[in-house]
Chain A
Amino acid sequence: MSEFKQTFNSSLGKKLIMALTGLFLCTFLIVHLGGNLLLFCDDNGYSFNMYANFLTHFPPIEVVAYILYLAIIVHALYALILTVNNTKARPVAYVAHNDAPASWSSKNMGLLGSILLLFIVIHMGDFWYKYKFTHTVGYKEYRTNVLTNQTTVSDFTPADPTFEHSSTTEGDTEIIRVKDLHARVANSFSNVWYDLFYVIAMGAVAFHLLHGFQSAFQTLGWRHRKYTPIVKFIGTWFFGVIIPLGFALMPIVYYLKSLGR
């Protein structure tokens, strides 16, 4: 067995993989939330649709995306391997329950992670898969008069079903035709049960990261009197509160909007 293989097969090596993939997924959440805040732009989905188009057509993003999918799979797989090993390490359970003063989230990372994995599968199936591999997402046409900066928007049906995106001009009018992921999002978020599932999943994100973010630093051995309080602060308030709250607001706001329509 090569030395690297031996390292990553050790208990600490597996934990290192969990920590590194976990932190990578944390950084992804920042980008994902940042981009999706475009959903709150009041422009008939123009910014969001252009952003979605950019993400699926810019090669470096596509490469990172596949690394991301790999990270999700590896994180889940190693969690499973470690959990099986941990179960084997205590074959006979205690009769009296352990009420050790450990945080709830730290003791339920597997449950929280399973909810998240289910969420990711449903979430990607609904948006990513349908956007990239099916023709079920509609199109929008944005006509902007470049002199007055007035934009009109209409649905658009291309002759070729594989059509993705075009940008043309007609006199003073700029015409942008793009896949309308925004409508698909709005449609999905008008279902209250779907929204409830999203909000619960974001709760799972909150509790998963409340423990996970600072735990990754502990595993990496990056613990210091001066920096650990900063790590814990970021893990609690940024990853445990702001990020999940930002994501959870999207289905809530879109549901309330759908009631007004």
Chain B
Amino acid sequence: MSTGNMNFTLKVWRQKDANSSGKMVTYPAENISPDMSFLEMLDVVNESLIHKGEEPIHFDHDCREGICGMCSLYINGRPHGPKRAITTCQLHMRSFNDGETITIEPWRAAAFPVIKDLAVDRSAFDRIQQSGGFVSVNTGGVPDANIIPIPKVIADEAFNSATCIGCGACVAACKNASAMLFVSAKVSQLGMLPQGQPERWSRVQAMVAQMDEEGFGNCTNTGACEAECPKEISLLNISRMNNDYFSAKLFREEKVHDHGASGGE
């Protein structure tokens, strides 16, 4: 039931490039419609910066409908801002109070170096996916649909894990900058399904090894990731990944480097 437009004070992390040190800079955000998304508010601020001849604030965004995982931003101490289960593009300015000071920071993790201002390099996630987040499929005749029976509960669980958009909010929220929620979701979405079974034991080893190499922290089961995830990925995935990893390492024949070898020729 808003009567008019809103004004805010923004404290934004400005950093020229990966090699520079950055600092917090204060900007006014004036005449903002409460129905604007957070990213649209930043667009308006950037317009005024451009008019003044200043460098606009760089931030990541793409689909602006909550499915691509590109937008980030650590807003007032929380990834994707104060609301649950949404991305920053789905956050509206009516979620803030008129006159409020809003602190905006990039994701903070050694594995997510800042590219510029609020944009961070999340290619560590891509490398983890490339290390094992796939099934190897040989081409051939078109198989019949539904030829492999999958219980509904399993299909649903795998789908829940697959809703991870790889935005990195879990890493940003974790006090240890751990990527285990992301990796476990990607391990689970394939490991639970029949199509993922041939590479199940090599996949988990390959993805955990790559995760460690990227320099993420270690999970201490606080559950902050689960609470901040825009897709509500459950901590159950981490437990599942651990179980698969220990099974693979201690009781299975497959080795880490076997991954991707079973399907291709």
A95-B11, A97-B77, A98-B224 given; A11·B110 CB < 8 A: no
28 contacts between A and B (CB under 8 A): A3-B249, A10-B212, A11-B212, A11-B219, A12-B242, A85-B217, A88-B215, A89-B111, A90-B110, A90-B176, A93-B108, A94-B108, A96-B77, A96-B103, A98-B224, A99-B78, A100-B173, A100-B224, A100-B227, A103-B223, A218-B221, A218-B239, A219-B221, A221-B241, A221-B243, A221-B244, A221-B246, A223-B236
Question: Which residue of A is nearest B248, CB measured?
Answer: A7
- Give B44-65 as 1s and 0s: 1 = Cβ < 8 Å from A's Cβ atoms: 0000000000000000000000
Chain B residues lying within 8 Å of A188, measured Cβ to Cβ, are: none
Partner of A86, one of B77, B176, B238, B249: B176
Chain A residues lying within 8 Å of B150, measured Cβ to Cβ, are: none
A15-B218, A221-B242 given; A96·B74 CB < 8 A: yes
Which range holds the interface residue count of chain B?
35 or more
Is there contact, CB below 8 Å, between B109 and A90?
Answer: yes
Chain A residues lying within 8 Å of B180, measured Cβ to Cβ, are: 11
Complex Cα spacing A219 to B220, Å: 9
> A99: shortest Cβ distance to chain B, in Å?
6
- Is A14 an interface residue, CB under 8 A from the partner? yes
- Is A252 an interface residue, CB under 8 A from the partner? no
- Chain B residues engaging chain A, CB cutoff 8 angstroms: 11, 13, 24, 74, 76-78, 103, 105, 108-111, 173, 175-178, 180, 208-209, 211-212, 215-224, 227-228, 235-236, 238-246, 249-250, 255
> A80: shortest Cβ distance to chain B, in Å?
12
Is there contact, CB below 8 Å, between A85 and B218?
Answer: yes
Is there contact, CB below 8 Å, between B221 and A211?
Answer: yes
Interface residues of A in 53-112 (CB under 8 A from B): 82, 85-86, 88-103, 106-107, 109
- Chain A residues engaging chain B, CB cutoff 8 angstroms: 3, 7, 10-16, 82, 85-86, 88-103, 106-107, 109, 211, 215, 218-223
Is there contact, CB below 8 Å, between A90 and B78?
Answer: no
> B26: shortest Cβ distance to chain A, in Å?
12
Chain B residues lying within 8 Å of A221, measured Cβ to Cβ, are: 239-246
17 more A-B contacts (CB under 8 A) besides A82-B220, A98-B78, A220-B243?
A: A7-B250, A11-B211, A14-B218, A15-B218, A86-B176, A86-B218, A88-B110, A89-B176, A93-B108, A94-B108, A95-B24, A100-B224, A106-B220, A218-B221, A218-B235, A223-B236, A223-B240
Question: Which residue of B is nearest A90, CB measured?
Answer: B177
Is there contact, CB below 8 Å, between B243 and A222?
Answer: yes
Is there contact, CB below 8 Å, between A102 and B223?
Answer: yes
Complex Cα spacing A99 to B79, Å: 10
